[in-house]
Every structure is written in structure tokens, then in C-alpha cells.
Amino acid sequence: MKKKAGLLLSLALASGAVLTGCGNNDATDTNDNAGGNGDADGIRVGMVADVGGIDDRSFNQSTWEGLKLFAEENGLEVNEDLRFQSSESDADYVPNLTLFAEQGFDLTFGVGFLLADPLATVAEQFPDSKFAIIDSVVKADNVVSINFEEHVGSFLVGVAAAMTTETNTVGFIGGVDSELIHRFEVGFVQGVKSVNPDIEVIVSYANDFNAADVGTTLASAMYTQGADIIFHAAGGTGNGVFTEAINRAQNGENVWVIGVDRDQSADGEWRDGDTVNNVTLTSMLKRVDVAANDIATKTLEGNFPGGQTIVYGLEDDGVGVVEDNLSEEILARIEDYRQQILDGEIEVISTRAEMFEMFPEME
């Protein structure tokens, strides 16, 4: 039976003993967040978001959703046993991480590679505290590094884009120009060109994860150049891509967006009277929610994987594709490629150097 990637890996991961806690029902975004006594016999978990914020509709939000489910599964109180700190700038990273460590939180997540160096600094200062870094590697016994095979998931949505485009031109918009986001870019390019090597892929970077206006500008330029599908890996900047696509769709253009990290179908909805339309073709799922829940659960059970780097990939449904708006033909093709990747018949590239060698026209 065909595996449904859109229903990836239930978040109901194995949990430990049910704990009780007390506190407020909703998280707040102030420096008082990391206070509170929590349950002395339980676990308290903190999360520091990057500048995209907790409601970026991308990886920060997805991480928080996974941790909230962990709290629900284990009787923990949000805003008491589970709290978050948002960051207005990179200057906030060290103080926010330090806040949780000083308050004795059992586990603190740093969300995004921009927090790697600040988290390494704080982890060294608080060797008895436990930390998790997402999208980077920090080599320390009290830190677990969480990474993903983004390039593989991006390959699969590249297949969807190649089979959908009517203009033979598609686009990629990245957030910060970095090795991490390059993995999305090159996997997407390889997926597109595996279906049709003649498709043009336009690439732009916003150099910001929280600039929706820049996302709108870049998307406008790409659509004007003839792209009819844009895959974004840009956090909150990607919200502007959806805005531009919806504006164009309302004016009769047939354009699409491919979302990232979580199912972004809701971000692509627009109405024409009573008719609900959607510019979201699919989304590349990067299950930071699953990973955060998993690491928190391991820590609760006394199995914190300190000093390890854990990679969530295709084999364990750490990455995948939302199926809702894709045809059966496209889904069948994606499944075929997925199986070839799992069987080792296709090696998905992950660096720009490999992309330039394989596709010189991208240089």
C-alpha cells in the first residue's frame, strides 16, 4: 500500500510517566517567561526562537507545536513547565538561553542554526543543564544536535514542481544565504531537473528569515520572469511569497507556492465569493515538531542523547511531502523517486559544489 507522506509519523510518540504541573494556560513573550517553580518531580522545557518569532508559520511555530503536544501528553502546563522566549535580534540569543539555564529548566531548545554559537557559549557556562540545537551541530556532552535531510524532501517537491509547471520556469527563494538553506536549494534543483533537465530554476536569497516585504518583492520578480511555481525556504520571509501569489491569482494568473517545514496550505487560501481557492501546491515537511517531541520525551525518560547528532530523514519520515493538492500521477511519480532514494539508486546532492558540477547552468 502506498505510504501517505502527508500523514507523516504520528506525533503520538512514546511518552513517560504522566506528570502534573501548575501555571498559566498561555505562553507569553516577556522576560518573565522563564520563571516559575514547575513540578519538582517533573520536567521543565524551554524554547528560544530565532528572529522569525514563535508565529512564523514555519520552523519556530512547528517546534513549538511539537513541544506543546509533548506537554499535553505528559500533563505539563504551558507557561509553567513549558515556556518560550522570542528573539528580536541576535543579541537576544545568549540572554534568552541563559535565562532558562539560570532558572533550572531541564532542557532548552535553540531553534535554528543562528543560535548555534550562542548555545555553545551558554552550554559551556552551564555544564549541568541540557540543551538541544536544531539545524546545526554543537559538540558538547550536554547538547544534542538535531538535523534533517532537507535536501531529500526538497528533491521530492522539485519533482512535483517539474510535473506541474506550464512555463518550464520555476523559482527558489531562500532566507539567509547559508549551507543549511543551500540544501533546500540544491535538492529542489536536482528534483526538478530529474524530471525535465530543460526547466529553468531561478534562485534568489532574501538574507533574512523575517522580511515578508522582501519575500513579496523577490516573488514578484520571479513570477514576472515567467516562473509559475516558487519553492520558499525562508521562514517568515516566505509569508510575502504567499501574499504575492494570492494577489496574482486574484488577477487571473495561474501561479503556485511550495511551502516549507509544515503544511502551509492554510497560508495559500483565498476566496472568490463563496469559492475557496489555494495557491499552495504542496509543502516540504521538515518534522521539527516530531524531533522536538522526541528529544523532550527521551529527556523525560532519562535518555537524553547528549553529545549526539541525530538526523531525521526520509526513512523515518523526518521529511516528506504534503499530498493534498497533488494529482495521483504526481504522487505516483514522487513515490517512485522516494523508493529509488531509499534503495540507494538515487543519491540526492546537498551542496552547491555538487549542484554546479551536475548542473553547470546553475552557476
- pLDDT, residue 10, reads 35
C-alpha span between 363 and 359 (Å, rounded): 8
C-alpha span between 282 and 231 (Å, rounded): 9
User: Do the beta carbons of residue 322 and residue 157 sit within 8 Å?
Assistant: no
- Walking along the chain (363 residues) 10 residues at a time, the average pLDDT comes out as 35 31 33 37 89 80 95 95 93 97 98 96 98 97 98 98 98 96 98 98 96 98 98 95 98 97 95 95 95 97 97 93 94 98 98 98 95
Return the axis-axis angle of helices 288-300 and 59-73, rounded to nearest 10°.
40
- pLDDT, residue 39, reads 40
Per-domain residue ranges for the chain?
18-148+287-312, 150-286+327-362
The rounded Cα 46 to chain-centroid distance in angstroms is 18
- Three-state DSSP class for residue 142: coil
Fold of 18-148+287-312: Rossmann fold (3.40.50)
User: Do the beta carbons of residue 16 and residue 297 sit within 8 Å?
Assistant: yes
- pLDDT, residue 324, reads 84
C-alpha span between 47 and 85 (Å, rounded): 6
- pLDDT, residue 143, reads 98
User: Do the beta carbons of residue 149 and residue 309 sit within 8 Å?
Assistant: no
- pLDDT, residue 227, reads 98
C-alpha span between 144 and 318 (Å, rounded): 17
**CA angle 311–341–353, rounded 5-degree value:** 70
Instruction: Let me know if domain 150-286+327-362 sits in CATH 3.40.50.2300.
Output: yes
- pLDDT, residue 41, reads 56
